[in-house]
Chains A and B, each alone.
Chain A
Amino acid sequence: MPASITVSSHPTVQYLLRIGDTCLIHAQRLAEWSGHAPIVEEDIALTNMALDLIGQARAVLTRAGSLEAELGGEAHDEDQLAFLRDERDFRNCTIVELPRGDFAVTMLRNCALAIFLKLLWERLAASSDAELAAIAGKAVKEARYHQEHASGWVVRLGDGTAESAARSKAALVLLWPYFAEIFDDDAIDDAAAASGLGPRWSALADDWRAELGAVLAAAKLEPPAERAFRSTGKTGVHSEHLGYVLAEMQMLQRTYPGGVW
């Protein structure tokens, strides 16, 4: 088995890993619906969105890996970053690694994430890093389309049958505590804001709440109360679920190093 790589702890690299890993793991969970969605159109929609997110993750991880070298460390390519990092070196928000759940969980998570990512890409389009700004200019159009699609489903399910409304309420209770982590700042955000690389994620919280709130209101869903609980995926301390995602995602490259087809 190839040795795991160690990634630069430079805040610029870490900020990019948070974005790239959140897209990558979110994509893995969406792609699990391939062949399992309730109707074929949604099967195609979920995997199309996963494909967009994988494309975004590839671009951001490629940039992170080349910046490692520019900042005086060892360069890594997108494949090394995806397949040869250990769980503790992934920087995705915990919310995206939770099991895909039922259709209500998937749609609510996708809606909340698409709104967040759209807001983030909008700001990153003005990043001081020209490559990141270019990636964001494309990704924002995709995130907008994802938001529109997922929002429609959240409304349809929340304001639907007794069963779909009950499932939607349960999804909201399950997922809500994990959203808070996204908007908690730390030194990585401070550095990104100072260098012009990107916004503090807390700066997106008000817009995110307003846009998601409008969808929830139309869906006749109440946002649950804030809780003290905080997940910590952005700092590399994950839930028990990420290990299983990585086992599946990394198995081939770990077992057959450099394997191609």
Chain B
Amino acid sequence: MTPIKTIALKEFKDYFISPIAYIVISLFLIVTGWFFFSTFFIYGRADLRDFFALLPITFSFFIPAVTMRMFAEEKNVGSYESLLTMPVSFAHIALGKFFAASAFAAAMLLPTLSYPLFISFLGNVDLGPVAGGYIGAILLGGAYCSIGLFASALTRNQIIAFIIGCAICFTLTIIDRMLFFVPESLVPAVEYLGANAHFTNISKGIIDSRDLIYFASVIFIFIFSTDIAMKEKN
């Protein structure tokens, strides 16, 4: 476990050494804050439903931006070679980077905890959906981080990593709204693939094992694919 921890800590610190972290977090807060509060006073409801409803879309752009450098930059600079020749396995590296990116996604969500705090001055906030929403957001963030990590492991170009990551995340987000293109027999299967529905369930405050298993499987599949992509390149 120690190598995973070492790599995760180093990668997490890396975000805050360079200006990337501050830029991404600021942009994320501006985008989500603006979309949420622009309609907040019109509806006059003391909940975070609209904030969480938009999160899968914003995450599918922001998370790949966070993860795109993870492998692509190392390959480009060449430090990938130093890293791979140290006594750590591919899985250690992939998991270490995954935890760092997920922790960063959590750090990105941290300032938004002020929303429920402010709203609680305006009315009675139901804490169940808020707590569920944040749990769901962490799971969704983790799933998208594993996808972004996989995209980054495919290439040495950060832009390509970003676009591939966005494409996969965005597809998972909107796939359940595209069901009319799908033959009827496949509808339940494709519906299950969509991340949005699972996230919405959790953010309503309903924590169902099916949804947890969904996110756990996405994370597992993409970290495993990252591991394969790393091995394949050598």
Do these two chains interact? no
Listed in ascending order, the chain A residues whose CB lies under 8 Å from chain B are none
